[in-house]
Structure 1
Amino acid sequence: MNMLAEMLLTEPAPVAIWVVLMLLTLPALVVLASPHGVRNPRLALIETVTFLRKREERREQERARRRQEAAQAVRYAEEIQVAADQAGYAVQRWQGHWEAAAEQVDATWQAWQDAEARWARSQATAAFGTPFTAQNPAEYADRERFLHRAVHAAADRGELPADAVADALSGRGGWDARLHPVEQELALHRASRAHLQSLHRDAVAAERAAWHDAQLARRSRDSLRREATIAEARAAVARHLLPPATTAEPEGIRRSALAGAA
Structure 2
Amino acid sequence: MNVVAEMLLSSPAPAAIWATLWILTLPAVLVLASPEAMRNPGEALRSLGRYLRLPGCRGAHPRETALESLAATQFAEEVRVAADRAELAAERWHERWEAATDEVTEAWQAWLDADARLRVRRSAAAFGTPWSAQTPTEYAARERFLHKAVRTAAGNGWLPAAAVADALAGRAGWDARLHPLEQELVVFRAAAGHLRDRYERAVAAEVTARHDATLARRTSDSLRQESWIAAARAADLRRLVPAGLSIASVAGEPAVAAAWH
Q: Under a length normalisation based on structure 2, what TM-score does the superposition of the two structures give?
A: 0.68
Aligned match of 2:187 = 188
Structure 1 residues 237 and 132 mapped into 2: Cα distance closer, same or farther (>3 Å)? closer
Which digits, 9 at most, give the CA deviation of each residue in 1:38-64, with x for residues without a partner?
xxxxxxxxxxxxxxxxxxxxxx98444
Alignment of 1:70 with 2:69, yes or no, is yes
Aligned match of 2:246 = 243
How far apart are residue 180 of structure 1 and its match? 0.6
Cα separation, 1, equivalents of 2:220 and 2:162: 43
Aligned match of 2:176 = 177
Contact 2:66–2:247 (Cα < 8 Å) also in 1: no
> What letter is aligned with 1:243?
S
Cα separation, 2, equivalents of 1:210 and 1:166: 33
Q: How does 1:130-141 map to 2 (within 5 A)?
A: 130=129, 135-141=134-140
Structure holding more helix per residue = 1
Which digits, 9 at most, give the CA deviation of each residue in 1:80-120, with x for residues without a partner?
11111111111111111111111111001000000000111
Which digits, 9 at most, give the CA deviation of each residue in 1:221-260, with x for residues without a partner?
11011111111111001124262647999xxxxxxxxxxx
Contact 1:71–1:246 (Cα < 8 Å) also in 2: no
> What letter is aligned with 1:107?
E
Q: Under a length normalisation based on structure 1, what TM-score does the superposition of the two structures give?
A: 0.68
SS of 2:80's equivalent in the other structure is helix
Aligned match of 2:47 = none
Structure 1 residues 67 and 245 mapped into 2: Cα distance closer, same or farther (>3 Å)? closer
Displaced runs of 4+ in structure 1, greater than 2 A? 60-68, 131-134, 240-249
Cα separation, 2, equivalents of 1:192 and 1:74: 61
Aligned match of 2:104 = 105
Q: Percent identity?
A: 55
> What letter is aligned with 2:157?
G
- Unmatched runs of 5 consecutive residues or more in structure 2: 1-58, 253-261
Q: How does 1:28-43 map to 2 (within 5 A)?
A: none
Contact 1:239–1:247 (Cα < 8 Å) also in 2: no
Q: How does 1:150-229 map to 2 (within 5 A)?
A: 150-229=149-228
Cα separation, 2, equivalents of 1:216 and 1:246: 43
Structure 1 residues 247 and 206 mapped into 2: Cα distance closer, same or farther (>3 Å)? farther
Flag the structure with larger Rg.
1
Cα separation, 1, equivalents of 2:138 and 2:234: 86
Aligned match of 1:121 = 120
How many pairs are equivalent? 191
Structure 1 residues 204 and 133 mapped into 2: Cα distance closer, same or farther (>3 Å)? closer
Decide which moves more: 183-192 or 126-135.
Answer: 126-135
How far apart are residue 124 of structure 1 and its match? 1.1
Decide which moves more: 217-226 or 127-136.
Answer: 127-136
Structure 1 residues 113 and 246 mapped into 2: Cα distance closer, same or farther (>3 Å)? farther
Contact 1:167–1:175 (Cα < 8 Å) also in 2: yes
Query: Cα RMSD (Å) of the superposition?
Result: 2.5
Which digits, 9 at most, give the CA deviation of each residue in 1:141-169, with x for residues without a partner?
00000000000111111100000000000
Alignment of 1:96 with 2:95, yes or no, is yes
SS of 2:178's equivalent in the other structure is coil
